[in-house]
Amino acid sequence: MAAQRFCFHDPCKRGGLPGQPMTYWFAIVEKHKQKKHMEIVGVLKSEHAMGHGHANAVVAFYLANNSK
């Protein structure tokens, strides 16, 4: 089965590019896991043009399911 793709970008802003699979976003969060929640949200917003709500949801989901 093909990986589900979710688009967290305004298609106009991103030239209509398709979204990335959740594993893509979780890998980015993983790279920044030493940072605080809102700092990771800031990375997704500034470096990947993700909206605040989606960035917050991705980070919250990842941290809740990958905390030790």
Quick: pLDDT tens for 22-55: 889 999 999 999 999 999 999 999 998 888 998 9
Take residue 35 and report the two structure tokens written for it: 């940072």
Closest CA to 51 of 25, 32, 23: 25
CA atoms within 13 A on the CB side of 30: 8
Indicate the pLDDT class of residue 15, thresholds 50, 70 and 90: very low
pTM attached to this predicted model? 0.74
